[in-house]
Structure 1
Amino acid sequence: MLIENWQLPSPRDWGLHGFRAWGLTEDVLLVEAVQNEAGYHKGCQEAVPAAGNSIQVDGVFRQRCLGCFLSLKQSTLEHTPDWANSVEWAPAYVSMGIRFDPKLQPIEQLWKELKNVMKNVLKKGLEKGFADAASRANEPSSTPAQIFELPVCYDKGLDWSRIEDFSGLSKNEFIQRHSRGEYWVAAMGFLPGFAFLDGLDPALSLPRLDAPRTRIPAGTVGIGGGQTGWYALSSPGGWNSLGETPLVLLDHQAGVGNENPSPVQVGDRVRFRSINEQEFDALKNELDVGDLAQEPEHGLDQGFDQGLDQDSVENSVPLSSDDAGPVTGELARDSIQDFVSFEVLEPGLWTSLQDRGRSVGMAYGLPRSGVADLLAYEAALEAVGGQVSGQVSGQVSSQKSSQKSRVVLECTLKGPVLRCLSEATIVLTGADFQVRCERTIVTSGKSETTLRDKVTSDTQSWIIPLHTLVKVKAGDILRWGYSQEGCRGYMAVRAGDYAGQRYWGSISGLAGQGAFMEGQIIRWKHSGQVKVQGVEMVHNLETLQKAHKRQGTRKTVERFAGTPRFRCRKGPEWDWISEEFQEYVMGSEYEVGSDSNRMGIRLSRRVVDEARERDWRAFLTELPSMWSSVVRPGIIQLPPSGQPIVLGPDGQTIGGYPRIAYVPQDQQWRLAQLRPGDRVRLGWV
């Protein structure tokens, strides 16, 4: 949603023509610098889009733009200190994303206030020296921007043969040029802690890999196009690998509200120092950097006490019998007396723990994450939440109590198998996975299964219906099947705070991490007495069985049937698409790709006119590249393939593909329930 094209009365001598303010999402204001003709590269024949966010801007323009945005941030915080806790700033090259709370301030009012501050910034010429502007972005304002030196072992680079072929330089000459440069952090994002560094010697520019690697080690320093930078996490990537650093580049224990989880922030200067493999090993040992610190998949989102001995788990779980003897040991004391606990017997296709996600972290590349289907999540919390004794409904007395019952289990397409390690009250929402509970009891010294699969037994299998509170006992097995409709299902537990780690304010993993593992233990603290208003029915398996016999099995509402049409808002780069093809993009029917996940939904156009499709692909080759800029869940990007990608809750925070549209938050629950092969259409709000 365009808010204003603000043209300066007198353009700056370095090429700034004005700014464009855009409502990117409900809670993110995008401000982009607009370049005038004097700022174009000499001899450029291609028109630069109105926003000025084309790749065709020079280094001086990018530096001055970044200086403007850093000064805008600092000046705003000096005059409005309350914004420090309610507004987050994410500058990137020639634009800046500003996350705010729309409940506190409408986006139009936010832009009006920022515009007044920017007038003062430009009047005083605070952007004229990038170093001066960068220094104002740090606290206190008199402290200069830091110069961060990163040791790099270039011998650990993976692409030197390719690099030498493309650059025409020897390895030693390339290393000397790369390590003697001074760079500035122009953006943070794509992945958590990923630093984009501007100022690369043009002779060192390298095209990205033809086929991105499926895994690049954490700490890899690389070059992609005209930028250099590093991977703070192990992840897929398409940049040329120059080497590795032994330093940890993303602090998993840092709190975003108080600390920068990255050693740098936008505006800082960076230098590289070449080291050999012996120095690399010595530094790594000195800093005690092991796989646990470098690789988040080994440390992120694992269950509380996941290393607990497996035999003790199995031997400590009581059968669901009133005659069962007392349980002893650490697990029994924790899981029964202090915790509501479950053991993961089978993890399912992609099962994880989720909450509402992060409200901060965009500036450091931390995804919002959280549940994909917010409607199902809220329905689950409403069912199990109740009212804590001594509190008024809807109010919380502390941050700790506000986290009560906020963590749920989210599963995708094929659910897990869980063993209950304690009594629990649960509810299921979202897609229907036909979850059944199996209970083993002891009678006359002989075990008998009372709930069995009706395919293999005459005894009926009891399915736990959606939106029904059910009390399960220690030893019960919760066996999730495949989703009948939709993609994601949820289980909430009537309990207190989740007894596990949080990462920058959220239980959610980073960069697609956090899936359950076999043997993992997940725990919630007991919540104490819960008060509810009115009459509440909590089923156990016996009453559920009787209810089924009286009423029969009820069919769930088919929430996910048909071909949905998502009502979108126009994105900042929508006008890059010519009118000739705009209807082709929005009028086509798309199919959800099998490679879709929580990071993004890939849409494949169902081609009915081959000639039209060829013309469309030819048009795509003429689109200019753009400097990376802020993106959020629900943004629809247009990659060179022409097949749109709708970003999900784990999607990156900045991206370099045109943002052609945005799916508003009130429709994103439906995105979460799309399955591979589903068909969708796009339209406008």
Structure 2
Amino acid sequence: MCRDDTLSIQPLGDAALIVAPRGDASAGWAAAARAALLATPLAGVTDLTPAFGVLGVFYDPSAISSGPDESAMSVVRAWLRSSLGELSIGETNTARQIDIPVCYDADFGLDQDALAAHARLTRAEVIARHAAGDYVVGAIGFQPGFAYLTGLSPELHTPRRSSPRTRVAAGSVGIGGAYTGIYPAESPGGWNLIGRTPTGQYNASSSPDSLLKVSDRVRFIPISAEKYELLSRQAERTAPHAPNSARPALVRIVSPCPGLTLQGTPQQGQQHNGVSPGGPMDASSQRLANRLVGNPHDAKTVEATLIGPRMEALRDLSLGIAGATPLGFGGARRIELSAGGTIDLRTLAGGSRLYVATPGGFSALSGDTLFGINEQPPGCLQSNKSQRWSLNFSAFGIRDADGTVALRVLRGPQAEHFAAGAWRCLVTDVYRIGSHSDRAGIRCEGTPLLSDNVGAMPSQPVCHGALQVPPDGQPIILGADRFTLGGYPMIAAVVSADWPALGQLRPGDRVRFVETTLAAAERARHAAEAELNRLEAAIDLRRSHDTL
């Protein structure tokens, strides 16, 4: 029998939890906990993310089987206690030893002089101490396959660069604070570069996709520039490539649409590799767009932000349109276009994101052309060419008379670390959505929320809807393309029933935050799911009548 006091379990909104043993846990415990839970799965749990001795547990509240008098979160808590209660703090999986070749040539170690000056060592001593380290993967995040390695010699602890580089080459080995790590892909970055490895860290097309896993032990093996070039050429020859497949061209975009992407359902189960789930910002509108043309939920749709596309059909096709539809559309709608026909969706009304679906889904966006699939999946119905009907639906949330959007929130795990009065400011003041908001984070402008531990906490798994507060006190609400880990304190989380409304916020919109309870949040999620199911049933009924 496990004791209730063996685990610390903290909510992250109404769809995630942070679990850790009481006491100082290790990366090995988090990895072992993840393995134990995978061995006793619970339906509805979507992701398990270990990081620095804690484990993020993500789930769909509407998919957890619970009784009439129990919450989804209580079911998940009971599962965690049953599966992990007897797992000791020091328990680990058998750690792998991974040796990674690194070239410490000055052309790759661009910050070796700065590291040496900070440590008051010579460049040769810095390199020797770095290469002699015995490292452990504490977490993977920032980008897919980016491993935060603990065990760096204290002499080498160096603050990140005050001005991050706009381009850091793939394979670059860097030092940031108390960690060292390897950039898996070219990206901006602020870590101090000490060398480079020719060994690939992440490839979504390979198995396993990530070279390193949490709790792995890592050693760096110094190599010459000549050896680096040889290994780089070998890696290029053996790298797996995604197969090319022919797809029919369906639509041409005939007007600039910079915020246009293709989105399917979130990619679950990969946060432990640093892969954000992604998916639509307004999943409810995307589901309806898909249902209007008979697609399953996971079919890829167009997501347009702030400005919609003007589209030309390259063949006869049906389109399901939902979200922030243009004025005059009357809500979510299915229309038919003959080859050569056009539709103008540029002026979005009521929200920020529009979704466009086609039977079978879109498969790719290349240049100005949208491609479909070769064959329609089972269940996709061909539509009557004269059909044109709409559905009155809006997922844009609760609005006050002045247009202010009310977002319901639950307290976050670091709420108590904020200055006295910060919570009162959050739930009484009105914030404005900033112009630099995107799919990763929605920036709020208003009364600063001051914390007493900014920069003092290790990165932890974060959830969709988390309100993280950076040093300037202006909260950022994390979106679909958030990083999997976050190092800013989390004062609150927007409840999952309001994520679609969150995805429809525009720069300049006014929002206020309303504290709610877990029970109310779960009721709201179930009510939203029931309403979507009702609308989908109505769509199915209408489509069946149109095909008789």
Q: TM-score range by the shorter chain?
A: 0.7 to 0.9
Choose the corresponding residue for 1:262, options 205, 210, 216.
210
Q: What corresponds to 1:651 in structure 2?
A: 482
Q: What corresponds to 2:352 in structure 1?
A: 487
**77 and 480 in structure 1: CA distance in 2 versus 1, 3 angstrom threshold:** closer
- Within 5 A, what are the aligned runs for 1:44-443? 61=24, 64-77=25-38, 80=40, 82=41, 88-100=47-59, 102=61, 103-105=63-65, 106-122=72-88, 127-128=89-90, 133-134=91-92, 136=93, 144-155=94-105, 156-254=108-206, 259-288=207-236, 335=248, 341-346=250-255, 348-385=257-294, 406-433=299-326
- The AA in structure 2 aligned to 1:96 is L
After superposition, give the CA deviation of every residue in 1:306-339 in whole Å (9 maximum; x if it has no partner).
xxxxxxxxxxxxxxxxxxxxxxxxxxxx63xxxx
Post-superposition offset of 1:25: 3.9
**623 and 73 in structure 1: CA distance in 2 versus 1, 3 angstrom threshold:** closer
Equivalent position SS for 1:71:
helix
**In 2: Cα distance, 1:684 partner to 1:558 partner:** 20
Conserved in 1, the CA contact under 8 Å of 2:310 and 2:345?
yes
- The AA in structure 2 aligned to 1:475 is G
Equivalent position SS for 2:230:
helix
Choose the corresponding residue for 2:422, options 541, 563, 581.
581
Q: What corresponds to 1:633 in structure 2?
A: 464
Equivalent position SS for 2:118:
helix
Overall identity of the aligned pairs, in %: 29
Conserved in 1, the CA contact under 8 Å of 2:301 and 2:361?
no
Aligned residues: 502
Q: What corresponds to 1:602 in structure 2?
A: 443
**In 1: Cα distance, 2:326 partner to 2:148 partner:** 42
Post-superposition offset of 1:355: 1.2
Equivalent position SS for 2:304:
strand
Conserved in 2, the CA contact under 8 Å of 1:342 and 1:418?
yes
Conserved in 2, the CA contact under 8 Å of 1:216 and 1:236?
yes
- The AA in structure 1 aligned to 2:55 is M
**In 2: Cα distance, 1:598 partner to 1:347 partner:** 19
Post-superposition offset of 1:597: 0.6
**In 1: Cα distance, 2:329 partner to 2:385 partner:** 12
**In 1: Cα distance, 2:344 partner to 2:47 partner:** 42
- The AA in structure 2 aligned to 1:189 is G
Post-superposition offset of 1:626: 0.8
**559 and 252 in structure 1: CA distance in 2 versus 1, 3 angstrom threshold:** closer
**466 and 215 in structure 1: CA distance in 2 versus 1, 3 angstrom threshold:** farther
After superposition, give the CA deviation of every residue in 1:118-139 in whole Å (9 maximum; x if it has no partner).
44233xxxx44xxxx44x2xxx
Conserved in 1, the CA contact under 8 Å of 2:44 and 2:60?
no
Q: What corresponds to 1:671 in structure 2?
A: 502
Conserved in 2, the CA contact under 8 Å of 1:304 and 1:523?
no
Post-superposition offset of 1:27: 3.7
User: TM-score normalised to the size of structure 2?
Assistant: 0.82
Q: What corresponds to 2:360 in structure 1?
A: 496
Larger deviation: 178-187 or 239-248? 239-248
**571 and 531 in structure 1: CA distance in 2 versus 1, 3 angstrom threshold:** closer
Q: What corresponds to 2:68 in structure 1?
A: none
Conserved in 2, the CA contact under 8 Å of 1:247 and 1:289?
no
Post-superposition offset of 1:407: 1.4
After superposition, give the CA deviation of every residue in 1:47-91 in whole Å (9 maximum; x if it has no partner).
xxxxxxxxxxxxxx4xx433333333444555x3x5599564322
Conserved in 1, the CA contact under 8 Å of 2:46 and 2:268?
no
Equivalent position SS for 2:229:
helix
- The AA in structure 1 aligned to 2:53 is V
Post-superposition offset of 1:430: 0.8
**In 1: Cα distance, 2:127 partner to 2:185 partner:** 23
- The AA in structure 1 aligned to 2:373 is W
**In 2: Cα distance, 1:112 partner to 1:555 partner:** 40
Post-superposition offset of 1:574: 0.7
**In 1: Cα distance, 2:104 partner to 2:380 partner:** 62
Q: What corresponds to 1:313 in structure 2?
A: none
**116 and 374 in structure 1: CA distance in 2 versus 1, 3 angstrom threshold:** closer
**117 and 287 in structure 1: CA distance in 2 versus 1, 3 angstrom threshold:** same
Give 5+ residue unaligned stretches, structure 2.
66-71, 517-548
**In 2: Cα distance, 1:624 partner to 1:499 partner:** 42
Post-superposition offset of 1:232: 1.5
Post-superposition offset of 1:147: 1.0
Conserved in 1, the CA contact under 8 Å of 2:331 and 2:392?
no
**In 1: Cα distance, 2:50 partner to 2:127 partner:** 29
Equivalent position SS for 1:152:
strand
Conserved in 2, the CA contact under 8 Å of 1:304 and 1:522?
no
Q: What corresponds to 2:523 in structure 1?
A: none
After superposition, give the CA deviation of every residue in 1:500-537 in whole Å (9 maximum; x if it has no partner).
5xxxxxxxxxxxxxxx553444223442897879xx87
Q: Which has the larger radius of gyration?
A: 1
- The AA in structure 2 aligned to 1:377 is Q
After superposition, give the CA deviation of every residue in 1:525-582 in whole Å (9 maximum; x if it has no partner).
442897879xx87646xx89xx9xxxxxx99989576111211011111111133332
Conserved in 2, the CA contact under 8 Å of 1:427 and 1:492?
yes
Question: What is the root-mean-square deviation in Å for CA atoms of aligned residues?
Answer: 3.4
**622 and 25 in structure 1: CA distance in 2 versus 1, 3 angstrom threshold:** closer
**In 2: Cα distance, 1:641 partner to 1:303 partner:** 46
**In 2: Cα distance, 1:214 partner to 1:664 partner:** 35
Runs of 4+ in 1 over 6 A off after TM superposition: 528-533, 554-558
Q: What corresponds to 2:521 in structure 1?
A: none
**427 and 538 in structure 1: CA distance in 2 versus 1, 3 angstrom threshold:** farther
**In 2: Cα distance, 1:586 partner to 1:248 partner:** 46
Q: What corresponds to 1:23 in structure 2?
A: 11
**In 1: Cα distance, 2:347 partner to 2:331 partner:** 14
Conserved in 2, the CA contact under 8 Å of 1:471 and 1:538?
yes
**107 and 241 in structure 1: CA distance in 2 versus 1, 3 angstrom threshold:** same
